[in-house]
Every structure is written in structure tokens, then in C-alpha cells.
A and B are shown apart, each in its own frame.
Chain A
Amino acid sequence: MVHTTLSAPPAAPSLLHRATRLGAGLADVWADMNWIVRFTAVLGLVLVVLALAAPLIAPFDPNAQSLLSRLKPPMGLAGAKDGYLLGTDELGRDILSRCLHGLRLTLGVALLGAVIGLLLGGSLGLFAGIAGGRVDDLIMSLVDIQIAVPFTLVALLTVALLGGDLTVLIAVLGIAYWEQYARITRGEVLRLREMPFIEAARAAGASGWRIAVKHILPNLVSPLVVVFTVNISNIVLLESTLSFLGLGLRPPTATLGAMVGMGRDYLPSAPWIVAAPALLILLVTFVIQMLGDFLRDRTDVRLRER
């Protein structure tokens, strides 16, 4: 715990001071990782940098078609064309460039979607758990409805009605899994509410607000981190599903899911069209799961050495 070991900082810590603290903090985190977590952390960092820098490093315009170089295999295979590192798709677009841009969009959409779900579901769950009674009944029946109705169907309908716009997609992905956060949060709140330390805080004179912020929220972090990471992976997959069904972003915009969807017709003859984006989806979900596990253990102060 870096921020507590230092003695009381001056009112406005200098930039340098902050930077050193951040550096020390990161070094601390790195020291805590085992080799496999370090490997995934580096892999994750690479993926994020690639996604952010996609417009700069992509060799081609992801949507530029070149009908003369259709269905070229990746470099190193017979019939490959120079410059197209991962080959081309059925319209002669460079797969590497599309993958980079696709990664950028997919990561952005998944992250935003998961955050929306967390905020929506988390606050509803917190509210249901703290308020109880009718409010709880109402929110939990919404949860039941969400579970009962197949969400792909709802997503299909929404996208069909409102169109395959980026905002619509993010909104749909955001509300897809809110119920998971709501259920976990509510359950945890109900459990925590009965814990003696909450009563101890009340006895000390803490207000409801203070109890929620200071005593309940920090104890929700671990379970929510777990849901969040599982959730990001699910959203990446859901986005792929929607795009695969042709309900994602309008073509030719590249997302990883859409690329897999589009490439399926060519699977027997040009498997590389699907392979590259599919592998990226796999990597992204793997990295998120691993780092999520690590983060959960790290945020749990109880796991620290005595």
C-alpha cells in the first residue's frame, strides 16, 4: 500500500513526486506477479498499444479493396502477395490492417459496454440491497425478466429497429449483462449488511452514505472485478455473435467478430481470413481473464501475508 506508507504528503504533491509514487506502485505490482501473469500483462500491453496505434501502424486502409489481390494467403504460403502480411480477404482487403482496426473497435466497445453494465447493474444491485422491500422486488423482477428473455433476441430487435450504429451497439452490449452485476452486488450487499462490522459502524455513528461508501463498496470490489472480467470476455463474444449474424456495425467497418462472420463462407478455401481475428479474440479474452484473476487477488487485502 504505497499511499499509506508515505508520511502525510504536502497539500499539492509535485508532478515528480506523483510520478515516483506511480513508478514505485507499478514496480510493486510487477514484483507481485508470477511469470505467467507477467507474460499476460506484457501481451495485454502489446494488444492495447496495437489497438491504440492502429491508424498509424496499419499498412493499408482497412476498407480499401483491391479486387486484383483477392483471397491471397499470408506471407510464406504459396501464392502470397508481397506486403500483405496476413493475406487478404474476399474483397482484397488487407487482413492485418483490418485486424488492427478491428481490435481497436472491439476492445473499445467491450470496455465501454462492460463499464455501462457495471454502473447500471452495480448501482441497481446496490440500491436493491440497501433499500430492500418493494424496490428490491421491482429490481429483482427486472433481473428475472432479463434472464428469462433470450438477450440475443432483444439485441436483434433493437439493432434491427435502430440500425447498426456504434452508439446503439455499445448501448446494447452495455445492457446485455447488467443483471449479472445487479445480482452479485445485491447478494453481497445483503450478506455484508448483516455483518457485525456494519453494525459496528452504525454504532460508531456512521451515516448510511458513509456505510455504503466506506464499508460496503470496498468489500464489493473483489467479486465485481471477477464479474467485470468475465463480462468483458462475454461482450467480446456477444459482439462477435451479433456481427456474425450481420447485426453488428454496418459493413465494411471491421470488428473482430464481423471478420470471423464474413470469413465463414471461405473457411474451406481461405481459412486465414477467420484464423487471424479468431486468434485475436482468443488472446484478448485470455489476457482479460488472467489479469482479472490477478487483480482480484491483489485487491483483496485479506490475502496479504500476516
Chain B
Amino acid sequence: MKIRSNIAVSDNGFMFDPNTGDSYNLNNTAAEILQMLKSGKDESEIIKEFTQKYDVDEATFEQNLYDFLGMLGHYDLVEKEQTNY
């Protein structure tokens, strides 16, 4: 999954979607995942890095990660085909 290239994420976790004008406040975990996605890491790399770095088992983290990615998709923050008008 790729985050849209024009999505801006600040170090403090503030995310701005310039296409819609919507903004989001991310917690530390979400902000870290976002930065990893923006730097081009895929889901398996994120899972590996997180489970090594933090005290969390793979199954729990994976479930939460996919919930979060689903949310990003719902808010249209990921790359997809050109829209029509």
C-alpha cells in the first residue's frame, strides 16, 4: 500500500490531505507507520520493524496495522486510479 505522494505528515503527527483540505491528528504509533509507508516500506517490513522494536506480538500488531491501513483507504489517502468527472 502506498500513501498518496502529496499527503503531508509533520513530525508531531499532524497529517494534511491537500486534495480535500481534511486534516488528521495521529498518535505516535500511527505517525511512525505513516513515515514508514511514505519512505516506501511495505507491510511485512513494517511488521518486522515494529515487532523487533516494541513489545508486541506479531498477530496483534498485524491485526491493528491492517485496521489502520483500511482506515487510510477509507479516507482516500492511498494511491489509486485517477478519478473521473
Do A and B actually bind? Answer: no
